[in-house]
A and B are shown apart, each in its own frame.
Chain A
Amino acid sequence: MDNIIGEPKKAFMTGNETVAWACLAAGADIMFGYPITPQNEVMHYWTRLAPKYNRGFLQTEDELSAGFTTCGAVQAGKKAFTATAGPGNVLMQEPFGMAEAMRLPLLAVIQQRGGPSSGTVVYSQQEVTLTTYGGNGEGHRIVYSTATHQEIYDYVIKGFNTAWKYRFPTFILGDGYQAKMREPLEMYDPKDKGIEMTPAYPLIGVPGQIGKDREPQHLCNIYSLEEELYDVVMKVAAEYEAIAPGLVEYESKYCEGAEIIIVSHGVVSRAADDAVKILRNQGIKAGYFRPITLRPFPQQQLRQCIAQSNAKQLLIAESAYGQLERLIKQEIYGETIKIDNLFMPGVGIIDFDIINKVKSII
């Protein structure tokens, strides 16, 4: 692969620009997209960079088409990605469902905006349910929720590898703040960090005679018989569950002996991290847990954090009205810890909000 970045170097840029550079460094062949705020600059930067590095871009007529063309390109063996937000993410659930059905290793970057409907063009964490379990399937996807530009860079590169290694559609879940803000990060070529990029390969039109040299490539998103579909979904579920323990990622701090555990994800975890430090300085033993993968969810690790603590309470902080909370409740079913919440749908959460909430409930 090309030397894109050269020596690892510091940069100061927006999250959207970071996505474009990371896709370039990861060896992405082509992007398909349709404009929607706040992800537009992913397309803008990609279209500036792509011609210089012999990569492709196609702006389609809408998000349905952008999703399906991405599905098509990965079948042809191209590392393809798309980026969207809000109502665009709603439309893309149809092609994302196809990617689940046919095990297509596409990468999608979601920059969450306010909802429902057109909502705001600004920010939220209201696309958690949609990104993890959207579509008419079982949520057999991998979703990384990033918090910093460094993570956007790192997880875009990792995301392509996860997608092509396991053949599940993979998502980088950001938000409008991460998309639009500028902060420093380090850019690098994967090989300089010892990261080997999983090569893309065609899923159709592969050489060899069917029945003699190879099995048929059975990429199917519709079945005649109920039992056929049942067998396929059960097989996919089993494969997903088998790889899940190796895929989960999380951050866990100060759980030991904590009296309250604060759980958050994405950009809100930055505020939670500050809040926990301030609370501990004030003598309140707060613990911190952050799922990085929302699918699969690090449920064993969260249960462990609860077990290590003396906590009677779990506080879930999110810029949505309970989307992370629902995920957590289903994942830690059976735990008896009391669950409190700080729901601020569509607006940012700062350390002050979390500290106030903690003090009001302990």
Chain B
Amino acid sequence: MSLIRIALAGEGGQGVQSVAEILTEAAYNENQQTIYIPNFGLEQRGGVSIAFIQFSDKRIGAPKFNKADAVIALSGRAIGRTAGYSDQNTLFVYDSGFDFDKEELPKEAKKIIALPAVDTANRVLHPKVFNIIIMGAVIGLTKVVSFEAAKKALEHKLGHKFENNPDLRDLNYRALEIGKEMAEKSLQEEVDNNG
């Protein structure tokens, strides 16, 4: 696998950094080279939280990057904050549940995709697995790790909670699967970018 760069952005508390941690842990367990760096400036205190993650089969250079292969923006504000990481090779993904100014969307993208992750979490599953749907979506979009490795990393991170409540395990696995399918389906749909 050649280098894949992902910027994952959302509001504090949405679990963006946890998703980055679990995904890179999964990649590490699959013997990939991987780097994860959170933004941790003062904007983190009440601002948009971004995780910069990279996957490769070769040694990875600088920890940050200018343009991503995939940008996932999980709030209205995060869209404007991350549009600059998009160019003609970028899959730009945002959640369809937020109101935002369409002008904020990137001018350049390979494809702009709206996913109903928040809505699905609220209606079908549980609001707290929103970020796991997103994690599934990242896997569906970029194939950076196998589904099995992702499940294993989830187990590693949340196993102690699953022990107390086995239903949680099922809920998380379903969220992962739904997210993955949602993303795969969106990739097959008509190109709707360059708006």
Contact = CB atoms under 8 A, between A and B. Distances in A.
Given A181-B35, A183-B35, A350-B64, A122 B40 contact: yes
B61 A274 contact: yes
A181 B54 CA distance: 11
Contacts of A268: 62
A182 interface: yes
Size category of the binding interface on chain B: 20 to 34
A270 B24 contact: no
A268 B62 CA distance: 7
Nearest to A273: B61
B164 to A, nearest CB: 23
A184 B37 contact: no
B62 A38 contact: no
B40 A271 contact: no
Interface in A183-202: 183-184
A12 B25 contact: yes
Given A38-B40, A182-B24, A267 B66 contact: no
Given A122-B41, A183-B34, A12 B24 contact: yes
Contact of A180 (B33, B40, B61): B40
B8 to A, nearest CB: 14
Given A121-B41, A122-B40, A271 B62 contact: yes
Interface in A239-278: 267-268, 270-271, 273-274
B38 interface: yes
A323 interface: no
Contact of A267 (B34, B38, B63): B63
B162 interface: no
A21 interface: no
A274 B25 CA distance: 24
B36 interface: yes
Interface string B77-115: 000000000000000000000000000000000000000
Contacts of A151: none
A350 B68 CA distance: 13
B38 A274 contact: no
Contacts of A38: 40
A181 B61 contact: no
Contacts of B34: 12, 182-184
Contacts of A12: 24-25, 28, 34
A120 interface: yes
Contact of A348 (B36, B60, B62): B62
B28 A348 contact: no
Given A348-B62, A350-B65, 10 more contacts: A12-B24, A181-B36, A182-B24, A182-B36, A183-B33, A184-B28, A267-B62, A350-B64, A351-B61, A352-B66
Interface of B: 21, 24-25, 28, 33-42, 60-66
7 smallest CB-CB distances across A and B, nearest first, come from A181-B37, A274-B61, A271-B62, A12-B28, A270-B61, A350-B62, A348-B64
5 contacts: A180-B37, A267-B63, A274-B61, A348-B64, A350-B64
